[in-house]
Structure 1
């Protein structure tokens, strides 16, 4: 379905609009200012449940009718939310059983937002009913251009560990495994006497005495993501019943610290992928993280244009200290997202709130009003986006792909790992940053994507891997692609069972290497390596005892490109390279190098594949 109406035929521009926070006379000023700024759309109704359904089954739509009419009169399209993100006080008061429960068994009470259990039948029924009422009323309204289901799923209420979730988890497990024998095998319950003899014995992975079962934890993350997806799909179905021709989305959250949902599974259920992204100043490379996130969203969208639903004009309100953006950074951050595939640029929010938890979150119209440098920058951005109309609908082309899998991340960051200080994203972000420094565009794609068009594939810390995905990587290499696999990839199957016979199990034959033991490094510890071309470098976070098996006729299966030069692995291979019969090359990187060494290595990989850098 087309989202052209949101974008006004070019690059869309706008943000969340909350007219219920303001007297009616302010609305008229708002639409005039929107015209000045070049706004093409607003998202309406995200947190409006208590203003729309004032009591159970009692609806007051008059104010929303007025807002929809006013926006249409001024040529502004509406992305209309189902208003279900946060239930009103009357709902949780009448039905406290809808409230979520944390890992320690404590109820999370209302008074903030998103205080609902993902598996509450009462909440689901009320939310689906409201979504249907919204669609029934506004399906034919001329301002309506897109539906926005709920908001930022899992931002605050996942995982929930209540008894309702426990029962739903058992149903999910029954559908996944069919019986207890398969469940016990997948979870490895022969260890620590965890064997289940009745499905009713299974609980969520609540607070326990020591390390929980890793596959139990992994499956609960899968279940939790699927639970919210089912709720989203129920709301979407209620909307489509009355409004089948209007595109539907929900805003993902593709930021470094957010890992609750498997967006590759979710993407097939939205008509257009949209996401929220905010700069976190405490991260070491915040703008590089923005670039990685945008390329990841493009991968989730299958290369199609996508929507930046929310970002900030300046400071946010939820960090310990919330620095303002320097003038010019709003333009820079927005255009960086457009350059990486966004056809729509949105902010939270249009007018900065006077009260409430987000009153110090920046907005398009700040507390200082339109006579301010920030609003002038907002208008400048609107003018720039208006002049970029001709690139709307275009796609980003890339010769390089970085493989990324949320479920591999969940497993790699599970309990009792060799190095808990190593985050899954450390390696793919370092690789992406090094490529970006050389001006090389990379897609960030799921391992199940079509890999055949890429000249270079990078497989960073893909801890768990499905056999079909490992075979696809090998097939791409056999067809001539140059593949770089990093440490802690191909180690376990999707149940988090180690692939035996030596690491990296799933990629061992492709790479022509065998690792007998990991040597993870302590925080701050480094190990010296010879970089490509005998340059001196260092590795951090990880090292391992790499051996290169010999073919009985042709000698070593792979060549040694760099070695460790100190520590217990001195003289052992750190980087290897294997030439394949079809013209492809398989590289193995057994540590996380310093930035210069990583850039040099990638330069060799790219040059060999004929990718300009």
Structure 2
């Protein structure tokens, strides 16, 4: 659009037509220039099969266009109308235990249902034919939050689709038997027709089968997205197509794979409101979104102006938090800031979800903050298209997340996000901007790569990490990484398997700790996990003082080629992680950042039009940041020798 996009989900079908003109007038007042329309409007658009009622949507789009508001036009296929499930009960999703789920909600469909696919094709094609050339439509928005509600279905239709998927992946049943290790527990198959989804059974299901079903389920949703996308592209080839991801918080979708299928990456993010460090989790999700987008600008498709409605305790945002949250996403690469939703609903499941126009109307703090943010964003259009650069990369892999958290692992306390968030937080507090990367991705532009959790490590990933270190990079790897291959088969030769050589260590035995048990590592504390670790070229940097691995190495450093590989065999406390990362950063030649106060976030965006510092003060006290000479865009003031940053405020400095 050539400018920062600002707006949100607009659901005019929830309101009488007399409200629509007021909505557009208020959008203009708030600086809104992009809204998503039609996400859950299927029963309004097609009240009976093949009977379309587009006249109301015609008027909405014309009204928005007349008000200068562009439209992200959604296909409404995330919420099938009641007639579809009534006429085709076989289209309802089925759980692992065989329960057939009902309607009355959203995402209430089996992703393998032919009846659902037929209905989707019809409504998507009709929308594309009618609005493919409408001047208000800036892009298409397919479905909504795939995997939210039904991450996988276990019906007979999905079973048949799974068998087709397995044939394509493995070729023949003998190869599948090898990949799944079916000689264990007499599971050997003689034909694909014998295979079912991993439904609830008497004991632990074959983990390789579970892992393949997770891949299948993600791919099944992706096939539905692709089908709609192709319908839209055939009829409106010049209009970009996307769908809204749920990065970092949706375990069931492999977004590295999905990102290649969208024209622009869009993400939904909602604060985990009760967390005191939720602004750090927000930064992590934004950095991950930017990584999945390949470093390109991306869309924050949904965020909240205040409290949501679906957390156990829905904590309201305090004054200034709306702007800080939104601009933190912008700092980390977003060129569009959108909210759910424009006007707060008076009924339905999300009536207590905050909105740009709250129940209190325009005489409210939220509305005043929305309009103030819209005015501020109008000064930032020169940032559009600029990118964020980072020296540090953190490895993230959805398949490893799936495999790690299957049944029958050494400790249920070992969780994927736990270590990722722990390492990310320490880097954030040390003021280092982080990129995320796929384990087989290009690492050439980084000096430090952190691997917080990579239980599933392919041979290609292991070589990629080893080559990075041999070429002069610094690698930090946390425990229980490198253990299995893509089929959940243990790498031969002992742990840490595929990463054993580059780390220069050998794990004699995993030594998980009891619940609540702690041990000491040097002057630091750790819990959950320890290992009986033997050196095989590495040197011990820290050792266990007590516990089951007393006097054995705990943290090691291994010269490998022109670089160094660090291994952390336990769950260190925050001070311990800081100590290890400080040493690793020094190995990587990345200097410490000592001139930014705690609680202040500074990110640089760079593009053809210049370089920009976005500074966010999460504290209440004013600070003055050292910064190159520049011009602050919100205050329109020169900053020749530092950047004043009031408590709770955001400033954007154009560097001269």
Structure-1-length-normalised TM-score = 0.95
Which residue among 585, 601, 604 is the counterpart of 2:580? 601
Shift of 1:217: 0.6
1:253-402 pair list within 5 angstroms: 253-256=246-249, 258-283=250-275, 285-402=277-394
Measured in 1, the distance between the counterparts of 2:515 and 2:339 equals 37
Matched, 1:506 2:498: yes
The Cα offsets for residues 494-513 of structure 1, whole Å up to 9 and x where unpaired, read as 00000121211111111111
Matched, 1:456 2:448: yes
1:74-473 pair list within 5 angstroms: 74-256=67-249, 258-283=250-275, 285-473=277-465
The Cα offsets for residues 451-492 of structure 1, whole Å up to 9 and x where unpaired, read as 111000111110111111111111111111111111111110
State whether residues 102 and 161 of structure 1, in contact with CA within 8 Å, keep that contact through their aligned partners in structure 2.
yes
State whether residues 131 and 239 of structure 1, in contact with CA within 8 Å, keep that contact through their aligned partners in structure 2.
yes
Matched, 1:590 2:590: no
1:482-501 pair list within 5 angstroms: 482-501=474-493
1:47-66 pair list within 5 angstroms: 47-66=40-59
The equivalent of 2:529 in structure 1 is 542
Measured in 2, the distance between the counterparts of 1:267 and 1:560 equals 40
Unaligned runs of 5+ in 1: 531-535, 550-556
Deviates more, 1:224-233 or 1:155-164: 155-164
Secondary structure in 1 matching 2:366:
helix
Shift of 1:282: 4.3
Measured in 1, the distance between the counterparts of 2:502 and 2:348 equals 56
Secondary structure in 2 matching 1:579:
strand
Measured in 1, the distance between the counterparts of 2:349 and 2:34 equals 25
Shift of 1:283: 4.7
Classify 1:338/1:228 alpha carbon distance in 2 versus 1 (closer, same or farther; 3 Å): same
* RMSD of aligned alpha carbons: 1.0
Shift of 1:581: 3.3
Unaligned runs of 5+ in 2: 593-656
The equivalent of 1:573 in structure 2 is 553
State whether residues 248 and 288 of structure 2, in contact with CA within 8 Å, keep that contact through their aligned partners in structure 1.
no
Shift of 1:515: 0.6
Secondary structure in 2 matching 1:58:
coil
The Cα offsets for residues 201-251 of structure 1, whole Å up to 9 and x where unpaired, read as 111111111111111111100000000100100000011110001000000
Matched, 1:564 2:556: no
Shift of 1:284: 6.6
Secondary structure in 2 matching 1:168:
helix
Shift of 1:611: 1.0
Secondary structure in 2 matching 1:543:
strand
State whether residues 129 and 238 of structure 1, in contact with CA within 8 Å, keep that contact through their aligned partners in structure 2.
no
Measured in 2, the distance between the counterparts of 1:232 and 1:423 equals 30
Measured in 1, the distance between the counterparts of 2:301 and 2:106 equals 19
Measured in 1, the distance between the counterparts of 2:526 and 2:486 equals 28
The equivalent of 2:654 in structure 1 is none
The Cα offsets for residues 338-387 of structure 1, whole Å up to 9 and x where unpaired, read as 11111110100000001111100100000000111110011111112212
Count of equivalent residues: 592
Shift of 1:522: 2.8
Measured in 2, the distance between the counterparts of 1:253 and 1:522 equals 34
